[in-house]
Chain A
């Protein structure tokens, strides 16, 4: 029997798109789509995977086996993408936290795959570990902004099988959907499917309510990753949602103009989505792009120049293809959390991807351009999320909220403090963020300090329902088997 009582958690509060806005015109979307089709047909994309090339060849695609470049005709692209489901479900351990993707809602995740952690105890930076993945899953489990979980850092203490250990740590610490961005290659993907079946209960349930999904990065310009694509094929055939994330960098791996970079990234994503549909028609896929910039002086990767505009563009491009979108948000370039820069850069992001209508979006909680975990940053980023969420809502206008009778009772020059209406509504009218938390002296607490306190409180008090013992044991057994097979494969 578990000695620690399990905790409940607040319901997910997705972004609700109550304001209507289309950023790109239909003409611009057509132009961008046409550009992608021209690139796919005339330039092509390199797939360094015999398996992927074989799938394309079987479906009449022009394959150059020597250069491994496929050239995709517009009619082939459109025909293949016709089978993409527009919406699907991301399952969770607890069905009440399943995410039914739909118009008008944006579900957010944490950021993921960081490589260092600022240790909560020592305050020192160190390589990230599996226990960090679990710790942050437990925190994410209790935040209403986090609808699903990306393992936030890499389980570097587990070598080649790190991606599967990240899944294990995640499922043991949150009941929410888990999305991996590190499962690469056929063998890990096969084991991940097996682990998913342990969670779901059966292969059929895995397909119906997949408790995990995968996002695979493409390689700019116009290349796919062999291991990434082959792992994705395994998951797509099992009905596990897979998404493709392009990260073109303006000036180095993409043209220095944003529209050109978006076209390059889109071509990479669309070619991968097409492969999934050819191999597994109807497989749930999603589209994601996070463009970056090369600093002209250093060549360094910059996520947030002044004109980083375009959090919305990939979302609307995805929808123009009739594919759900994983919107790109957050990931400050600030090396330290809680700084001016760490808020100035991502503060508009949740609002922008929500307003553009992304079905899912990533991701809160990492600094130093997605690489460094400060445990308290998730609380600060969540605050920015809720600011965006409220900005997107419509004001409630009703006789009760207009309160004309109350205004009449108070009259000019009076005050509302003594009104019953005030007592009834005051608590709901102030949504207190991290900036307005009071200490015992009624002074505001420094937001970063409050965030630290909140993290410590959660870790001491929040204990999600554990997996059933049999499930835990089965996951452990699968991990051991995976490690053996992957080590053997590595030696070969």
Chain B
């Protein structure tokens, strides 16, 4: 028996905040253009360098450095669409990236899982990708799904197995961050074809998108760029993420790290627009700050989260949607630190106008999947969603007649207005839950039980058997070829 998937509840902010002023935007853009023109980026893909060269970029074939003149950047980026749709298996779950709402994904590509049955920590598997997809499918807070962990039990073609497990367990849009290389991308596009039904639908409502990480400083990944080109050719959205680390792979000043990361992302988006004008692209700046004693990448330093909001502003300045960094935490277990990290930045990113964000459900700097972490993050998401939604000041909400009825010293408990409206208030399903022994239950424990309930009871509408079989066939072929 299948379970209905609740309608999405995106964050629709009533307020908008400008992170950068016009002068700052101009300064940052000028700096990025200078870097692209004077320093360039390392591009180890012959195919990509050829495209750059054909369109007026200066290419050094020996060093594989590509320098991109400002006019080429401007011309290429003028074709990038600002708004588009990311499709889902079921059309009512399509994401219209029109600048009015923020849709959040799960986090992705973790490498370990807290087993929901044994509660032991182990290497992640394809089955976990499916479990995560089922949890995500059930939560209205999750707009689209990043395969939450790596299907490490299918090493040769894990990215494709992750897609299969995702499509078989959620009706929502899937965004991969692991499909790398032209061969793998070709199979992924075939899988998207199966889900969409035909090429026109695939282009109009792409059920699959791809996020490719750049290599800081100022370098692109050959496999990543070639899979991005294949996706763009098929009309599937591709985004580029910079994770420059201030102090090691970026300058130790935040402005410098931002422009170095910006240059990486823009160089990749330019390539896509040169090769496939009007291909849907998106922008993601998620820098870290180096831990001076260990050299580690820190995602949740006090100043770090502001950089994510700066990234949203820069995306819009380049005329493309943003994928904002939300919910990442360095915490080792669900608790104070994971909540503090999640709740601190999401509201600002929503008010900055981010169209998409990732992601809920991982700990240990995006490495460890705790099923209950997705539930806990969803609770924080709702707090932000309500906070951003604005205040109702209608006559019914102001309730002046009710106040006059009650007068000084009265109480509102018996009033009909209270009975109607108190039920409409949104209380957390995690906090304030009464314990049978008195007092309140631990919200983390409540979340764990909720995750168990979802995994036992939520079974989204299945792919029809013909498409399931087709996906299996593609996977088998890919396994053979990639082996």
Residues of chain A having any CB pair with chain B under 8 Å: 19-24, 28, 31-32, 35, 38-39, 42-46, 69, 219, 221-223, 250-260, 263-264, 293-300, 302, 304-311, 313, 333-335, 338-345, 347-348, 351-352, 355, 380, 383-384, 386-391, 393-398, 400-404, 406-408, 410-417, 419, 421-427, 429-433, 435-436, 438, 442, 444, 447-448
Interface contact A35-B247, CB-CB below 8 Å? no
Contact sample, A vs B, 23 pairs, CB 8 Å cutoff = A19-B18, A20-B18, A21-B17, A24-B391, A24-B393, A43-B408, A221-B412, A222-B408, A255-B403, A257-B396, A258-B392, A299-B413, A304-B383, A343-B337, A348-B383, A394-B24, A396-B255, A403-B255, A407-B39, A416-B217, A430-B292, A433-B300, A435-B340
Interface contact B218-A294, CB-CB below 8 Å? no
Interface contact B247-A426, CB-CB below 8 Å? yes
- The residue that B17 contacts in the complex, of A19, A415, A416, with Cβ under 8 A, is A19
Interface contact B411-A252, CB-CB below 8 Å? yes
CB distance from B19 to the nearest CB of A (A): 7
CB distance from B51 to the nearest CB of A (A): 18
CB distance from B263 to the nearest CB of A (A): 8
Residues of chain B having any CB pair with chain A under 8 Å: 14-21, 24, 27-28, 31, 34-35, 38-42, 65, 215, 217-219, 246-256, 258-260, 289-294, 298, 300-303, 305-307, 309-310, 330-331, 334-345, 347-348, 351, 376, 379-380, 382-384, 386-394, 396-400, 402-404, 406-413, 415, 417-418, 420-428, 430-432, 434, 439-440, 442-444
Q: Provided the pairs A38-B400, A395-B20 are in contact, do residues A412 and B344 lie with their beta carbons within 8 angstroms? A: no
- The residue that A391 contacts in the complex, of B249, B348, B394, B411, with Cβ under 8 A, is B348
CB distance from A34 to the nearest CB of B (A): 9
Interface contact B409-A46, CB-CB below 8 Å? yes
Interface contact A406-B291, CB-CB below 8 Å? no
B418's closest neighbor in chain A, by CB? A256
Interface contact B305-A391, CB-CB below 8 Å? yes
Interface contact A433-B301, CB-CB below 8 Å? yes
The majority secondary structure among interface residues of chain B is: mixed
Interface contact B440-A397, CB-CB below 8 Å? no
The listed residue with most B CB atoms (<10 A of its CB), out of A20, A32, A263, A298, is A263
The listed residue with most A CB atoms (<10 A of its CB), out of B41, B306, B340, B444, is B340
A-B pairs with beta carbons under 8 A, tally: 391
CB distance from B88 to the nearest CB of A (A): 25
Interface contact A339-B335, CB-CB below 8 Å? yes
Interface contact B396-A414, CB-CB below 8 Å? no
CB distance from B341 to the nearest CB of A (A): 7
Chain B residues with CB under 8 Å of A339's CB are 335-336, 442-444
- The residue that A340 contacts in the complex, of B34, B65, B338, with Cβ under 8 A, is B338
Interface contact B391-A31, CB-CB below 8 Å? no
A306 to B381, CA, bound (A): 9
Chain B residues with CB under 8 Å of A341's CB are 339, 430-431, 443
The listed residue with most A CB atoms (<10 A of its CB), out of B289, B390, B398, is B398
Interface contact A344-B379, CB-CB below 8 Å? yes
Interface contact A307-B252, CB-CB below 8 Å? no
A50 to B243, CA, bound (A): 67
Give me 6 other A-B pairs in contact (C-beta within 8 A), A223-B408, A387-B302, A407-B260 excluded.
Answer: A28-B391, A255-B399, A263-B398, A341-B430, A387-B340, A390-B302
CB distance from B63 to the nearest CB of A (A): 8
A300 to B249, CA, bound (A): 52
For the complex of A and B, the 10 pairs showing the least CB-CB separation, nearest first, are A347-B343, A260-B399, A401-B255, A403-B256, A412-B42, A256-B421, A343-B339, A425-B252, A307-B386, A412-B218
B388's closest neighbor in chain A, by CB? A309
